[in-house]
């Protein structure tokens, strides 16, 4: 079976907004709340600029600068693969990013970005910034998170209540049962 977002082994949900809306800030609030429920989380972040995971002077940076097409950094707890220039296997896509995750080691994938791809997304909207609502033109949006009450046919969640957002995601994707089974298996060890 070809990998696609719709047949991925666990739920995938995106948080999309215009730059400067607070996507990363919100996600750093949501992740510990989701983890506290026993849900294993993977994050995929789409970057629109040059990425530097290593610093000048470090061995892996020096090897990449010397011409290595790919550099894999691995320790007992952290692994990072970098490639550069024309050696990337294809343009950045959510499907490609999902294929790089370790299967069955996560219960939920949260995506920041890739807003033009088709998968379930939650819009973050701050009316004071003056940006148009994304969900009006994106049928894949499942909810809106806002710091003000807005009118929408979608559920509107309070940006200042991250617990409410977590409960929505848990309910929408049926993760409550998964969280319970993860806690049971952890306590049996």
Spatial CB neighbours of 131, under 8 Å, sequence gap ≥ 6 = 17, 18, 21, 125
Give which of 52, 36, 49, 39 is closest to 13, Cα–Cα: 39
Spatial contact of 109 and 42, defined as CB atoms under 8 Å apart? yes
31-54: per-residue pLDDT in tens?
Answer: 999 999 999 999 998 875 555 566
| CA distance linking residue 138 with residue 148, whole number of Å | 21
Q: In the chain, what are the domain boundaries?
A: 5-46+92-187, 53-89
Whether pLDDT at 88 is above 60: no
Query: Three-state SS for 13?
Result: strand
**Mean pLDDT of all residues in 54-61:** 78
Q: Which fold has domain 5-46+92-187?
A: Rossmann fold (3.40.50)
């Amino acid at each position: 079976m070809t990998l696609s977002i719709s047949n991925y082994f666990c739920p995938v949900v995106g948080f999309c907004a215009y730059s400067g809306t607070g996507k990363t800030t919100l996600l750093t609030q949501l992740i510990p709340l989701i983890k506290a429920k026993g849900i294993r989380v993977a994050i995929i972040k789409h970057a629109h600029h040059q990425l530097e995971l290593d610093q000048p002077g470090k061995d892996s940076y020096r090897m990449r600068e010397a011409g290595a097409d790919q550099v894999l950094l691995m320790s007992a707890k952290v692994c990072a693969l970098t490639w550069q220039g024309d050696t990337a296997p294809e343009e950045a896509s959510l499907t490609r990013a999902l294929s790089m995750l370790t299967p069955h080691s996560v219960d939920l994938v949260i995506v920041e970005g890739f807003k033009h791809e088709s998968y379930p997304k939650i819009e973050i909207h701050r009316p004071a910034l003056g940006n148009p609502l994304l969900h009006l033109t994106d049928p894949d949006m499942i909810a809106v998170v806002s710091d003000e009450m807005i009118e929408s046919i979608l559920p509107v969640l309070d940006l200042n209540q991250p617990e409410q957002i977590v409960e929505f995601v848990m309910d929408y994707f049926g993760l409550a049962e998964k969280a319970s089974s993860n806690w049971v298996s952890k306590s049996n060890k």
